[in-house]
Chain A
Amino acid sequence: MEKINIESTPKTPSINFDFEKGFLEIKGRSIPENSIEFYKPIVESLEKYGAKPIAVTTVNIQLEYFNTSSSKCILDVFKKLESIHKSGNQLVINWYYEQDDEDMLEAGEDYQAIINVPFKMIQIEE
């Protein structure tokens, strides 16, 4: 499988997916009008990765802003991760939020309540 490396734009985050290392990172802002189109390739590669994941998968989510349209797609990404975790693989989602950004922390906690995967809330010092 090819690595995925997508550069960030003013409305979409950077995506790094290194299959061999079991590392996925989504970083920046996610506020596209059409988020399904943007997230489709990531959800699809997670599907493929899920068939043969490596022993430990690490996921870093470091978002500055995200819109409600992205929030559904991020949930789809997490659902794929959930099924990887469910089939007995070690997996952790690191949810980064800036100090004082209570809304972003709360957003992470919302996902934590919905998705059955270990979450780690990590505060970034400004």
Chain B
Amino acid sequence: MMLDIYDFYDKMERNHILLSFKGDITSELLTSILQIMESKLENLQEEPKVKKKVYNVLVECLQNLYHHMDEVDASTDRTRSAIFMIGKLESKYTIITGNYIRTENVSSLDGRLKEINALSPDQLKEYYKKVLANGEMSAKGGGGLGMIDIARKTGEKLNYTFMPIDDKFSFFSLNIKIS
């Protein structure tokens, strides 16, 4: 198959993508990506406030992907792979992530995200504190706080979709805007 690389380039250019990655999400990769994004934010001369918010939300989005890799398990190579893109249009940053999820887990994640989206900013703050104080932490350190934190810091509803892929897997995509 011939890959039309210009087509990719053009789409990324038109969507103002600063950085994109597809593949295995490792700890070393995240360290590098965060360093690259930090210097990009520096070069774009963002206000410290914007820089911090973008960096914080990016950490949560990428670590969500990282922690998720193990849950899907290495049943096939394909399901270990994920994608993310970081874009900037005018003063708004966009972080888009995509990863496979077992279809049997779709409804519980969907339910959790709907619950978060139903809350006002004040309710989110209370919910965060409640989960922080009482929530159980998974062995890897994910505490179910990531999505709540993203919603809280961006002040936006979580925008996501699930696309059925085959009998076992669906593709989860999350589109985060930070302004």
A68-B143 in contact (CB<8A): yes
B111 at the binding interface (Cβ < 8 Å): no
Which A residue's beta carbon lies closest to that of B129? Answer: A110
Bound Cα distance from A71 to B27, whole angstroms: 19
Bound Cα distance from A35 to B49, whole angstroms: 25
A114-B129 in contact (CB<8A): yes
B143-A69 in contact (CB<8A): yes
Interface window among A19-27, A51-59, A83-91, A95-103: A95-103
Residues of A within 8 A of B66 (CB): 33
A72-B35 in contact (CB<8A): no
In the complex, chain A residues 61-120 whose Cβ is within 8 Å of any chain B Cβ: 65, 67-73, 75, 98, 100-104, 106, 110, 113-114
Instruction: Give the number of residues in A that approach B within 8 Å (Cβ atoms).
Output: 28
B145 at the binding interface (Cβ < 8 Å): yes
Which A residue's beta carbon lies closest to that of B135? Answer: A72
Residues of A within 8 A of B146 (CB): 68
Residues of B within 8 A of A98 (CB): 48
Residues of A within 8 A of B132 (CB): 71-72, 75, 110, 114
B75 at the binding interface (Cβ < 8 Å): no
B63-A33 in contact (CB<8A): yes
Kindly identify which residue among B47, B133, B137 contacts A114, using a CB–CB cutoff of 8 Å: B133
A31 at the binding interface (Cβ < 8 Å): yes
Which B residue's beta carbon lies closest to that of A75? Answer: B132
Q: How far is the CB of A58 from chain B (nearest CB, A)?
A: 24
A101-B48 in contact (CB<8A): yes
Question: Are A69 and B141 also in contact (CB < 8 A) when A33-B30, A33-B67, A75-B132 are?
Answer: yes
A36 at the binding interface (Cβ < 8 Å): yes
Residues of B within 8 A of A72 (CB): 132, 135, 137, 141, 143, 145
Q: How far is the CB of A13 from chain B (nearest CB, A)?
A: 14
Bits for A1-39, please: 1 = Cβ < 8 Å to B, else 0: 000000000110000000000000000000111111000
B30-A65 in contact (CB<8A): no
B53 at the binding interface (Cβ < 8 Å): yes
B149 at the binding interface (Cβ < 8 Å): yes
Mark A residues whose CB is within 8 Å of B: 10-11, 31-36, 65, 67-73, 75, 98, 100-104, 106, 110, 113-114, 126
